[in-house]
A and B are shown apart, each in its own frame.
Chain A
Amino acid sequence: MGVHDPILTAITVRGDHPAVIEPSGKTLSYGRLGEVSAALRDRLAAIGVTRGDRVGIMLRKSADSVASILGVLRAGAGYVPTDPGAPPSRAAYIFSHCAVKAVIVEQRFVEALSAELAKAGAAPTLIITDGIGGAEPLHARLRDLQAASPAPAVPDVSTSDPDLAYILYTSGSTGRPKGVTLTHQNARTFVEWCTEAFSPRPDDRFSAHAPFHFDLSILDIFVSLTHGATLMVIDEDLGKEPLALAAYIASARISIWYSAPSILSLLAQRGRLGEHDYSALRTVLFAGEVFPVVHLRSLQKQWPRPRYYNLYGPTETNVCTFLEVPGLIPDDRTEPYPIGKVCSHLRGLVADEDGKPLPADAEGELCITGPGVMTGYWAQPDLTAKAFITTPDGTRWYRTGDIVSLDGNADYRYLGRRDRMIKKRGYRVELGEIEACLYRHPDVKEAAVVALPDDALGQRVVAHLGTASGQRLSLIKLKQFCAENLPVYMVPDAFAFHAALPKTSTGKTDYQTLKAQSAAPAAGAPA
């Protein structure tokens, strides 16, 4: 069964209900979503797109992009979303790498994209829309094409478990992005788990805060539409502005929120949440990075009603562990919450540095198996082989790269990235642990720690801080604070101060940029 099949049912039974609402108020009903996606399906079929093909999407987040995703799936193809804000060379690389047959793209991106596609030697058919908004520009374009050269109506291509549903390109730590390839079974079993865990209802209103090229969007789009609920698109401008966003969440009556913790921290600090009515909000989900407890506690005090869940998982598995955060966080708690238990459709084990399974209660790398786990990286068999271990019973386990241990409640605690574990003077140093310590400092609002090879020190550890006051802090006091909370070999060698830490397009702390900044000679000096 295709991941989108339940959406086709919702289209037939809830035709008048809003499927997607944009911040402007423009609304796409389920009936219209069915119409536009069917027109796109027919157009793609006429171009020659068939089952298993790839179709690129380069649209700003909108009802148009939702309708495009559904149209591509109905044509039997997998969709390949890209970040329209990223350099066009990146989109062109992605589209040529997985050889998309067609791209649905906004007019404003066409010139730059075409130039880059030509350089890459790729020539997919472009379906060009004049902007976005309520899926009207996409619909209009498809009608024009239909008038010029009619595409016969074709039935939905029936898809089964192993068929491609989408490819999400994530940045490799070095070099080119890699295409995480996910099937209908991967997506469907994840959506089914979400249904079991969060009991979505047709009257729910889901936030769509994450960009559509980011895996958080899978929950937003597919869980909401599967249940005939409404997807509330939060565009990039609104998504970054805490005051406006806080007002929108209330006025749009959003009931299920899902995002990275960073925007929730901003809302808690600067959203003036007390001024609005959040009685509709019943579930708050967060994933993607550690939520500093100080901000989570502040958020819960301002939003006492919803249930809070910490979701964890790399794009390769989507969510693979989760934990419901208790309603009241004790004032003296500083340690972040665990990532919890493995989701019911998956299984986990911990492995040592060589990928050998360890006893369940040992500290090691979390590995995941089950129907939600990707098949591999598109056209990169070597990278794929390295990403998995195989146990003697023949089971393939995806190596998350994250180090975990079990706590007393049998919940996994996240200890840090395998590749963020460094050796300094022979000691194993987990950079995340230094960050956790810095977050306990009352004047620290944001902390990110990076390590760079250093001739004298072996590894030079640089802490990048955003402070509550916006002022730089005393280096001596900071070092003393760290030394009271950490072994002295873990005290950062240098500190740099920022108004705000740089973020990636998906709202996570941008460690690559911070590393580049740390390499500059005066990293201990004011930034």
Chain B
Amino acid sequence: MSTPTDITGTVKDFILREFLPGEDASQLEVSTPMMTTGILDSIATLKLVSFLEDTFKITIEAHEADREHLNTLADIEQLVKSKQK
């Protein structure tokens, strides 16, 4: 079972590596909006969802792949945690 810090750190590393190459890691904060700013576009969101499902052994419903659930690192952590309960 992953601890909360692990979730955010793992997801953050993935997003920086995949979608923000060369970015200073400190710029991506837990509250940085990603879907409403184009950091996560539709293709990136799909990749992120598969990553979350594979890494944390959870299932994310299609209606959950939206800005309400995935916009910030904090949102993502909350979603993953709710699935792991």
Chain A residues with CB under 8 Å of chain B are 425, 456-457, 472, 474-477, 479-480, 482-483, 488-489, 491-493, 522, 524-526
* CB-based contact B22/A479 at 8 Å: no
B13 in the interface (beta carbon within 8 A): no
13 more CB-based (< 8 A) A-B contacts, given A456-B43, A488-B38, A525-B21: A425-B42, A475-B27, A475-B39, A482-B37, A482-B38, A483-B36, A488-B36, A491-B37, A491-B38, A491-B41, A492-B38, A493-B41, A525-B22
Residues of B within 8 A of A457 (CB): 41, 43
Chain B residues with CB below 8 A from A456, complex form: 43
A323 to B37, CA, bound (A): 36
A479 B21 Cβ-Cβ under 8 A:
no
Q: How large is the interface on B (under 10, 10 to 19, 20 to 34, 35 or more residues)?
A: 10 to 19
Do A476 and B21 have beta carbons less than 8 Å apart? no
Cα A522 to Cα B17 in complex, Å, equals 12
Q: Which residue of A lies closest to B33 (CB)?
A: A480
CB of B11 within 8 A of chain A? no
B39, B42, B43: the one contacting A479 at CB < 8 Å is: B39
Residues of B within 8 Å of A482, CB to CB, are 37-38
Q: B2-26: contact bitstring with A at CB < 8 Å (1 yes, 0 no)?
A: 0000000000000000001111100
Assess the A524–B21 pair: CB atoms within 8 A.
yes
In the complex, residue of chain A having the shortest beta-carbon distance to the beta carbon of B18: A524
- B58 CB-CB contact with A under 8 Å: no
Does B32 belong to the interface (CB within 8 Å)? yes
* Residues of B near any A CB (own CB < 8 A): 20-24, 27-28, 32-33, 36-39, 41-43
A476 near B41 with CB under 8 A, answer no
Q: How far is the CA of A456 from the CA of B20 in the complex (A)?
A: 17
A496 CB to nearest B CB, Å: 10
Closest beta carbon of chain A to B72's beta carbon, Å: 12
Chain A residues whose C-beta falls within 8 Å of the C-beta of B33 in the assembled complex: 480, 483
Q: Please judge, given known A-B contacts A457-B43, A472-B22, A522-B21, whether A483 and B38 are in contact too, CB under 8 Å.
A: yes
Q: Which residues of B contact A480 (CB under 8 A)?
A: 32-33, 37
Residue of A nearest to B32 (CB): A476
Query: A477 — which chain B residues lie within 8 A by C-beta?
Result: 27
Instruction: Tell me the minimal C-beta distance from A185 to chain B in angstroms.
Output: 51
A483 to B36, CA, bound (A): 7
Measured between alpha carbons, how far is A145 from B28 in the docked complex, in Å?
Answer: 73
Closest 3 CB pairs of A and B: A491-B38, A483-B37, A474-B27
A495 to B: closest C-beta gap in Å? 9
Closest to A527 in B: B22
CA of A368 to CA of B37, assembled, Å? 40
Q: Is there an interface contact between B37 and A474, defined as CB atoms closer than 8 Å?
A: no
Taking a contact as CB atoms closer than 8 A, the residue among A474, A479, A522 that contacts B38 in the complex is A479
Which residue among B23, B32, B33 has the maximum number of chain A CB atoms within 10 Å of its CB?
A: B23
Chain A residues in 8 Å Cβ range of B43: 456-457
CA distance A457 to B24 in the complex (A): 25
A488 touches B42 (CB 8 A): no
Chain A residues contacting B22 (CB-CB under 8 Å) are 472, 475, 524-526
Residues of the B chain whose Cβ atoms lie less than 8 Å from the Cβ of A524: 20-22
The reply to whether B39 and A476 form a contact with Cβ atoms under 8 Å apart is yes
Nearest chain A CB to B14 CB, angstrom units: 15
The listed residue with most A CB atoms (<10 A of its CB), out of B21, B27, B37, B42, is B37
Chain A residues, CB < 8 A from B37: 476, 479-480, 482-483, 488, 491
- Give Cα A470–Cα B27 distance, bound, in whole angstroms: 19
Name the A residues within 8 Å of B21 (CB-CB).
Answer: 522, 524-525
A-B contact pairs, 9 of them (CB 8 A): A475-B20, A475-B27, A476-B23, A476-B27, A476-B32, A479-B38, A480-B32, A488-B37, A493-B38
Chain B residues whose CB sits within 8 angstroms of the CB of A492 once the complex forms: 38
